Amino acid sequence: MGFEQTQAMASVDTVPLWRQYREEFPVTERLVYLNHAAVAPLTRRSAKAMQWLAEDALQFGSLHYDQWLDTYEHLRLAAARLIGAQREEVAIVKNTSEGIATVAMGLDWRPGDRVVAFREEFPANFYPWKRLEEQRCEVVWLSVNDSLESIDQACRSAKLLAISFVQYLSGFRADLNAIGEICKRRGCFFFVDAIQGLGAFPLGVDTANIDALAADGHKWLLGPEGCGLLYVRKDRQDSIFPREFGWTNVARYADYASRDMTLRPDAGRYECGTLNTIGCYGLQASIELLLEIGIDRIAPAIEALAAQLAQGALKKGYTLLHEPDAKNGSGIITIQKPGLDSRRVVQDLKQSGIIAAPRQGWVRLSPHFYINPEEIDRVVNALP
């Protein structure tokens, strides 16, 4: 490596991460966007990729369909890199809910089977297990604040444990590696709803012993709505039957005359019919951008912004639903102040060009890495 190249790399390292990639986010020209836990703005690359597909379909119909198929494959490969999986373990789904339902409905449940689930979950990761409880399974309901010892005890003889990487309301980030060790030791299927952490914090499915994982692309992955990912460990795929069954679940799906219902030999068995092609273009572009930047660089940037928000809110008399720390903090800061209506606070912030979300009487703020720390000061100053 030459001296000039070394100097250039050193120069880039001294430039704040948000500044290096600011141009990828035109939303910053208009808003301080702190709502990535809901629906994120698109990256410039993601928008351009989808615009290309729309124009291609407009001008040529399906003439370039082979390129569309390549995009499906590139998305699977990019997603596999992101979570440390194999391409054969990744399926493209509509959303997190479809991924969770695929696992919940696809396993062979028997009366008396035990599930470990958590009360604070978003409905998508609550209702499927509640439904099983009402039908034939025992569900042990824990709190995400319970100790690892309590989780270990609950996992005795349990068939499955389901938890979110990051809780949607409080922002509590679960210790997936520790929980995964418990599940592996107990022989318990480990499922993770990763939508609120994937793209913001490192996650390795092998390191955490995760058996299945689902996430949509429209939050921290910075992609479009309606295009998500389902990971199922290779040696677990034969134990999860695709209840949603269509022509592309089978190995010979390209042969329309075939009536052979043998499933595809990989996670593609969970893809039922035509995919969201334009969404795949957008999600591939956004994931590849995140991989280019590096999640190991993104995570500390998000943590610093979240800590800045939390400290600023505390100084203005707000209460934190969950106080972040290095172990279980995330990009979500949820605050409340006596006498203030959270919906009114969010509306007032919106009038100032600051986008947040009201959630169950709280104000939820969720910055991504490209936010300027000076903008966080602006948000704190705008809080009533």
Q: What is the pLDDT of residues 246-283, one digit of tens each?
A: 999 999 999 999 999 999 999 999 999 999 999 999 99
Determine the residue type at 144.
V
* 3: pLDDT strictly greater than 50: no
Give residues with Cβ within 8 angstroms of 58, minimum separation 6.
none
Task: Output the six-digit token pair for 222.
Answer: 């910075």
Decide if 237 contacts 267 (C-beta within 8 A): yes
pLDDT of residue 147: 97
Give residues with Cβ within 8 angstroms of 183, minimum separation 6.
155, 161, 189, 190, 209, 211
Task: Measure the N-to-C terminal CA separation of the chain; round to a whole number of Å.
Answer: 53
Task: Extract the runs of DSSP E, i.e. beta strands, from the chain.
Answer: 32-33, 90-93, 114-118, 138-142, 160-164, 189-193, 212-216, 228-232, 319-320, 333-336, 354-355, 357-359, 362-365
Can you tell me the mean pLDDT for 233-257?
97
pLDDT of residue 2: 58
Strand 362-365 vs strand 333-336: parallel, antiparallel, or unpaired? Answer: antiparallel
Task: Output the six-digit token pair for 160.
Answer: 């499955």
Mean confidence (pLDDT) of the chain: 96
Q: What pLDDT digit, counting tens, does each position of 300-351 carry? A: 999 999 999 999 999 999 999 999 888 999 999 999 999 999 999 999 999 9
Can you tell me the mean pLDDT for 375-381?
98
Q: What pLDDT digit, counting tens, does each position of 150-176 carry? A: 999 999 999 999 999 999 999 999 999
pLDDT of residue 325: 87
* 242: pLDDT strictly greater than 80: yes
Strand 333-336 vs strand 354-355: parallel, antiparallel, or unpaired? Answer: unpaired
Decide if 249 contacts 271 (C-beta within 8 A): yes
Residue pointed to by tokens 């969720």:
366
pLDDT of residue 8: 47
Q: What pLDDT digit, counting tens, does each position of 101-149 carry? A: 999 999 999 999 999 999 999 999 999 999 999 998 999 999 999 999 9
Distance CA 206, CA 209 (A): 5
* pLDDT above 70: percentage of residues in the chain: 97
**Confidence class for position 36, pLDDT limits 50, 70, 90:** very high
pLDDT of residue 67: 96
Can you tell me the mean pLDDT for 2-8?
50
3-state secondary structure of 60: helix
Kindly report the length of the chain: 384
Q: What pLDDT digit, counting tens, does each position of 349-367 carry? A: 999 999 999 999 999 999 9
128, containing H or E segment: helix 127-135
